Amino acid sequence: MGIDAKISGDVWPARRGFFKNDHHIKLHKTPAILKQVLTKDTNVPIRKQDWDCQSAIGMLNYLAGCTQPDILFATHQCARFSSDPKFSHENAVKRITWYLTGNYTKGIILKPNKNSSICDFVDASFASGWSQEDSQDPTNIWTGYMLNYADCPFLWVSKLQMEIALLTSKAKYITLLQSLRDVILFMTLHDKIRDIFNLKFSKPVI
């Protein structure tokens, strides 16, 4: 098992000329401001630039789903408001891009362990996205999980929870059930190909 990854210089929005008129480039160590959740920001100024926000988020979403799990949460926050982005959302998209620009040489290092099976890492953030502006929005629970096989991540998810939970424990159980859908699907696929590749399979670890 091995991976030969190469960096393409024509994927990131910053390299496609989206921010060509932005002369205030600031490299960041994190893709988003810590402990800050984006809101609708109906009372803040409108955007200052005219680049295509939805197209830029689409490119970032592609990277987040394929090779950059570290920007998944930040990208999903921006995607929520891509239909009517404000100045704060514009800055959030640019921050992700500048983060990638400063860390483009870093990536996922995979070291397969043949003795390890499926591991399901699950967590939920209860009401962390609550704000006075969105106080009537019940979908402020963030769901996140990562599936590993042979100590290598192959699926990561970060999104709003679509079911209403009134307790932290219930929010975590809902997230667990959502992740098990992918675990069961992978186990079914694994059963079909393990005889061909002579793979070992033990009980999943959660």
User: Is residue 128, in this structure, part of any structural domain at all?
Assistant: yes
* Structural domain span for residue 152: 118-197
124 and 94 both lie in a single domain: no
63 and 98 both lie in a single domain: yes
Report DSSP letters for 68-100, one per residue.
Answer: -GGGHHHHHHHHHTTTS--HHHHHHHHHHHHHH
Tens digits of per-residue pLDDT, 81-118?
Answer: 888 888 888 889 989 988 988 887 888 888 888 777 78
Domain tally for the chain? 2
125 and 76 both lie in a single domain: no
The average pLDDT across 11-35 equals 65
Query: Does the pLDDT at position 192 exceed 60?
Result: yes
94 and 17 both lie in a single domain: yes
Q: Which of 77, 102, 127 is a domain's end point? A: 102
Instruction: Compute the distance between CA of residue 163 and CA of residue 107 in angstroms, rounded to an integer.
Output: 33
The average pLDDT across 8-27 equals 55
Q: What is the pLDDT of residue 145?
A: 92
User: Is residue 206, in this structure, part of any structural domain at all?
Assistant: no
Q: What is the pLDDT of residue 147?
A: 92
* pLDDT bucket at 134, cuts 50 / 70 / 90: low
28 and 85 both lie in a single domain: yes
User: Is residue 2, in this structure, part of any structural domain at all?
Assistant: no
131 and 186 both lie in a single domain: yes
3-state helix, strand, coil in the chain (%, to 5): 35, 15, 50
The tokens for 84 are: 């009517």
